[in-house]
Amino acid sequence: MKRQDFMERDFAATAATLNYALPMLQRYAGATVVVKFGGNAMGDDDAIASFARDIVLMRLVGVNPIVVHGGGPMINEMLDKLGIQSSFVRGKRITDKATVEVVEAVLSGVVNKRIVQAINAQGGKAVGISGKDGSLMKCIQADPELGFVGQPSEMNPSVLTSLMGNEMIPVIAPLGFGDDGTTYNVNGDTAAGAIAAALKADRLLLLTDVTGVKNADGDVVTELTPDTVRDMTTSGVIAGGMIPKTETALDAIENGVRAVVILDGRVANACLLELYTEQGAGSMIRPAR
């Protein structure tokens, strides 16, 4: 085949690919997407690098991504190293003064900077903060029995809009502050939902260690309405650890988030599959059309 013929064929194929791909890549241009990153993937360097590449690509095609992370396994490891014993109430850890200091050190000082570094290594411009910075997330005590565990009560997202306006990618550790300056540990999903609601985000992506919300037959339900979620919860189909995630989703939607997706963060390119393929990934919860 002559070079000219090859080039014409190659250009034609490339043009056809671009004609298909460009509208898909532009579909979320200008959108704000809050991503909760947690679970087992956080302990794997390759998984963090893959996640970072996805976040950078989202930013390159015009999305405003915001990352909220957890860090439970790393916190547990540090508490064990320090010999700090944990007590539990109804399956939830009591966060005393010593524990919350470890939580802050691990989340803000270790996990947050690891994610920031991974994003920057992929060519992004990430900035690490916590909910204490810029008075982002004011909290009240969630439950006196649990100690320094917070529930977001007031949000000030101006620090995030400022960062995004300068093409930065905020990476947020789920810590909040109280009226008296007390530091509170906040559940990562809860923090992500509150941040998404404060920004009226287009999407909240909750990356977890399961494939999505499952029906009574064990099949993933790809689209749900808030009423469907409530019915499935009442009937016991949605149970256990999925309940806090769907509750976060319902709260976020009620407060202005367009849609919430619960998806498997262990799957490579999970965020991109959700945003840029027709079939999406995981379970999308949004109001009935």
- Quick one: pLDDT at residue 2? 46
Measured between alpha carbons, how far is 213 from 238 in angstroms, rounded to an integer? Answer: 7
Element (H, E) at 19: helix 3-26
- Quick one: pLDDT at residue 12? 53
Is residue 227 scored above 90 in pLDDT?
yes
Per-residue pLDDT, averaged over 21-32, amounts to 73
Is residue 96 scored above 70 in pLDDT?
yes
Q: What is the overall mean pLDDT for the chain?
A: 88
Measured between alpha carbons, how far is 174 from 188 in angstroms, rounded to an integer? Answer: 6
- Quick one: pLDDT at residue 19? 52
- Quick one: pLDDT at residue 125? 97
Sequence spans of domains, the chain = 31-285
Please state the pTM of the whole predicted model: 0.89
Which class is 31-285 in CATH?
Answer: alpha beta
Q: Do the beta carbons of residue 61 and residue 26 sit within 8 Å?
A: yes
Predicted confidence band of residue 7 (pLDDT cuts 50, 70, 90): very low
- Spell out where the chain has E strands: 32-37, 64-69, 88-89, 92-93, 126-130, 137-141, 150-155, 169-173, 175-177, 183-185, 203-208, 223-224, 259-264, 283-285
φ/ψ of 225, rounded to 5, equals -100, 165
pLDDT: which is higher, 21 or 76: 76
Q: Do the beta carbons of residue 263 and residue 238 sit within 8 Å?
A: no
Is residue 10 scored above 80 in pLDDT?
no
DSSP letter assigned to residue 271? H
Q: Do the beta carbons of residue 139 and residue 176 sit within 8 Å?
A: yes
Measured between alpha carbons, how far is 71 from 110 in angstroms, rounded to an integer? Answer: 9
Per-residue pLDDT, averaged over 194-200, amounts to 97
Measured between alpha carbons, how far is 197 from 258 in angstroms, rounded to an integer? Answer: 9
Per-residue pLDDT, averaged over 111-126, amounts to 96
Q: Do the beta carbons of residue 38 and residue 207 sit within 8 Å?
A: yes
Measured between alpha carbons, how far is 108 from 75 in angstroms, rounded to an integer? Answer: 11
